[in-house]
Structure 1
Amino acid sequence: MDYEIFDLGDVTLQSGVMLPSAFLAYKTYGRLNEKKDNVIVYPTAFGDQHVQNEWLIGNDMALDPEKYFIIVPNLLGNGLSSSPSNTPPPFDRANFPQVTIYDNVKLQHRLVTEKFDIKKIALVVGWSMGGIQSFQWGASYPEMVERIAPFAGIAKTSPQTYLVLEGMKAPLMAAVGFNSSKINQLTSADMRAVGRVYAGWGLSQAFYREELYRVMGFDSLADFVVGVWEDSFMMMDPHNVLTMLWTGQNADISANPLYDGDFDEALKSIKALACVMPGSTDLFCPADDNEYEAKLIPNAVFKPIESIWGHFAGRGINSADNKFIDDNLKHLLALSTNE
């Protein structure tokens, strides 16, 4: 096991449901310095685990473990932190409670403060649903978070993004005849169709038109769909996926007692220096949404990743996109927060 477990005890979620013996799986890189001010929090995205974040961590990179103490908390529902697949009855599989982005960040805050006694975070960074969590950190703990850098992640799920995620849920519901009482019959084989739905959204039209899947070692579109989308989704537990889809569909940094749904107010309340990096051709988390958000965050810069890799411009695959993200993170970390 290359990660650690932080036991949270019995947790009352935002829904009011109590999740017994909850826990976060996390991994740390580097060392916490004496002043405890070299902290970077780097949450995981939908379907990812901490290992998928490691492409952005390394010597001479912005997230340098020689310099920073990097904490990667795993998303609730991802199979390592409390999830439908690892929670005993009565909260197993389809009975796992709904968890929000707000819940995730609140529990990550407990990890950071209770386990490590950290009072300031230099940066919260993340891709996709990890980016949403970085926005939430900034809105939930404005005095604590000095910088945020969401890339290919929006602060509130738009109606169109909601429908894309609904489209990913549909093959699983179809597999049980849209009968929610039969959801526990789902298996990982049912995830094959979900991968095919995602394939059209994860990358841009231009990516496919220019056959960039050949760069990844696939000779045909059919091979790419099977070798990347089907295979990666069939490794996921369908109940975990349904939990994470719900979290994504209901993501909104203002949907909590702090802001009572006032989205603009939540954005304006973020005090962190922010570098917002959408993928210019992202079909999932459109750059337009991020542009709106960046205008309302007092200390934000809007830096689109000019790339035809769509949502996956933030996935750590294309070297030019990786360098753009890393360079912007280096610049952000070099800025003084005047404290």
Structure 2
Amino acid sequence: MKKAGMSWLMALCVVSVLALLPFRLSATEQRYFNLGDLGLEGGGLIRDARLGYRTFGVLDAARSNAVIFPSWFMGTSGDLAALIGPGKVVDSSRYFVIAVDSFGNGVSSSPSNSVAQKGRSFPDLTTGDMVRAQLRLVTEELGISRLHAVIGISMGGMQAYQWMAAYPVIFQDNSPTPFSG
């Protein structure tokens, strides 16, 4: 009886791992863009700022299929991975998707992971600060001058609106796709 129970448990574990494997394989490795000391709209400064991100899909030869997808409050680029891929919210077989970890989420510069500005000494941020850092990621780190679109959910949706308000000329298709909830 014990042997049959263990075999069933082992089979369940194998099936669970195999079910999660396609999701895990679709996510690229976590990367970081080091921004140095980042001045903020409110006059503050993030020391040694870094922005976490992952990319999915292939940037086409014309560099015209990039979509930026900022995370929601406390969401991560790893969480966004579940929404990216063929047949999902953003199709990575058609688009080069840049999933960005927003400041404060624990992956990018945050009160919890800052060496120099822990906890309450971490500066106040605006959506504009986040988007300016993302613009630098896109243009300086990835070498992309035009985006196909921006998409965001909740706080990521607010960042999508900020992208369109602050940098409308960077988009080929001037239609952000923000979701709020």
Normalised by the length of structure 2, the TM-score is 0.80
SS in 1 for 2:87: coil
Residue in structure 2 matched with residue 106 of structure 1 by the alignment: 132
Q: What is the DSSP-based 3-state SS (H/G/I as helix, E as strand, rest coil) of the residue aligned with 2:152?
A: strand
Structure 2: tracts of 5 or more residues without a match = 1-27
Higher helix share: 1
Over 6 Å off, 4+ runs: none
State the 1:62 CA deviation: 5.1
Whole-Å Cα distance in 1 between the matches of residues 70 and 51 of structure 2? 11
Letter of the structure 1 residue corresponding to residue 66 of structure 2? V
The answer to whether structure 1 residue 124 and structure 2 residue 150 are counterparts is yes
- Bigger strand share: 2
Q: Does 1:133 align with 2:154?
A: no
Report the alpha carbon displacement of residue 139 of structure 1 after superposing the two structures with TM.
0.5
Aligned residues: 152
Residues 60/83 of structure 1: CA separation in 2 closer, same or farther (3 Å cut): same
Identical amino acids, percent of aligned pairs: 38
Is structure 2 residue 32 aligned with structure 1 residue 5?
A: yes
Please tell me the residue identity of whatever aligns with 1:122.
Answer: H
CA distance in 2, matches of 1:36, 1:26: 18
Q: Distance in 2 between matches of 1:55 and 1:94?
A: 32
TM-score, normalising length: structure 1: 0.43
Distance 2:142 2:33 in 1: 11
Question: Structure 1 counterpart of 2:151, which letter?
Answer: V
* Structure 1 residue identity aligned to 2:139: T
Task: Measure, in 2, the Cα distance between the counterparts of 1:151 and 1:60.
Answer: 19
Post-superposition CA distance 1:97-125 (Å, at most 9, x none): 00110000000000000012211111100
The whole-number CA distance in structure 1 between the counterparts of 2:118 and 2:82 is 32
In structure 2, C-alpha distance between the alignment counterparts of 1:97 and 1:58, rounded to whole Å: 35
- Cα deviation, 1:259-302, whole Å, max 9, x if unaligned, reads xxxxxxxxxxxxxxxxxxxxxxxxxxxxxxxxxxxxxxxxxxxx
Distance 1:85 1:37, change over 3 A: same
Where in structure 2 are the equivalents of 1:22-33 lying within 5 Å? 22-33=49-60
Alpha-carbon distance in 1 for matches of 2:127, 2:99: 15
Q: Which amino acid aligns with 1:148?
A: P
Spell out the pairing of 1:1-339 with structure 2 (5 A cutoff). 2-61=29-88, 63-89=90-116, 91-145=117-171, 146=173, 147-152=175-180, 311=181
Question: What is the identity, as a one-letter code, of the residue corresponding to 1:84?
Answer: P
Q: Deviations over 1:5-26 (max 9, x none)?
A: 0000111111112221101000
Match of residue 13 from structure 2: none
What amino acid is aligned across from residue 56 of structure 1 in structure 2?
L
Secondary structure in structure 1 of the residue aligned to 2:145 = coil
Q: 1:20-73: CA deviations, max 9, x gaps? A: 110100010011111110000000001111122223211134522121100011
**Rounded Cα–Cα distance in structure 2 between residues aligned with 1:38 and 1:114:** 17
Q: Helix, strand or coil for the counterpart of 1:75?
A: coil
Distance 1:84 1:62, change over 3 A: closer
- Structure 2 CA distance, aligned partners of 1:94 and 1:25? 21
Larger RCO (alpha carbons 8 Å, 6+ apart): 2
Equivalent residue of 1:40, what SS?
Answer: strand
